[in-house]
């Protein structure tokens, strides 16, 4: 796994780019202050396959799994996905707004999509994440900090309490102290 070391126009170099249509411009003058950590698995609690990519590119087949019928019409994305094996994919330029946070609030600011970068980890609330995912996440956060004035890291559960639970109870926040950012400050 080669570490990502640079960005061009908000895209991390030397990784797979799979552009999502589910993105738009950030509000004028809005800087990136937050990284939001998420967890996703499709079907739920199953790993591998391309269903997450299909969800973020609006190509998820509603008939492929009973769960998909209720989510296939969603228009969502994230900037990044870190798979269980550490593979890093990018769907949206960091300079654009990805649609990952939904109704959300951080430090009194609404609409976290406007000023955050969303990073999905392939995972769920019921299982631990892989060491290689933490390694890749820490390296990615460090790279992003070189290019954006990021102030903190938070989980989706922190910015949308009561509505979201990810990255969940098995996520080891202490591993992210290596990023030098405040953790879960909402």
The residues annotated with a catalytic role in the active site are 120
Distance CA 167, CA 39 (A): 5
Distance CA 124, CA 166 (A): 7
Structure-token match 């797979």, residue found? 16
Cis bond before residue 167 (omega within 30° of 0): yes
Helix H segments across the chain?
A: 51-56, 131-147, 156-159
Q: Is 108 left (phi over 0), alpha (psi -120 to 50) or beta?
A: left
Q: Which of 54, 49, 61 is nearest to 76 (CA)?
A: 54
């Amino acid at each position: 796994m080669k570490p990502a070391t640079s960005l061009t126009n908000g895209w991390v170099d030397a990784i797979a780019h799979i552009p999502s249509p589910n993105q738009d411009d950030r509000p004028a003058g809005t800087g990136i202050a937050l990284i939001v950590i998420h967890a996703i698995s499709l079907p739920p609690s199953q790993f591998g396959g391309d269903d997450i990519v299909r969800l973020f590119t609006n190509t998820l087949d509603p008939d492929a799994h009973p769960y998909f019928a209720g989510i296939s019409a969603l228009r969502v994305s994230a900037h990044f996905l870190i798979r269980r094996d550490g593979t890093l994919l990018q769907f949206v330029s960091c300079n654009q707004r990805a649609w990952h946070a939904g109704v959300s609030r951080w430090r009194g600011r609404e609409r976290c999509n406007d000023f955050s970068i969303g990073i999905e980890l392939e995972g769920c609330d019921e299982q631990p994440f892989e060491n290689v995912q933490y390694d890749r996440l820490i390296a990615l956060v460090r790279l992003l900090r070189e290019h954006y004035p990021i102030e903190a890291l938070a989980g989706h559960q922190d910015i949308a309490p009561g509505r979201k639970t990810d990255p969940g109870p098995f996520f080891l926040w202490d591993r992210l102290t290596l990023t030098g950012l405040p953790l879960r400050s909402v």
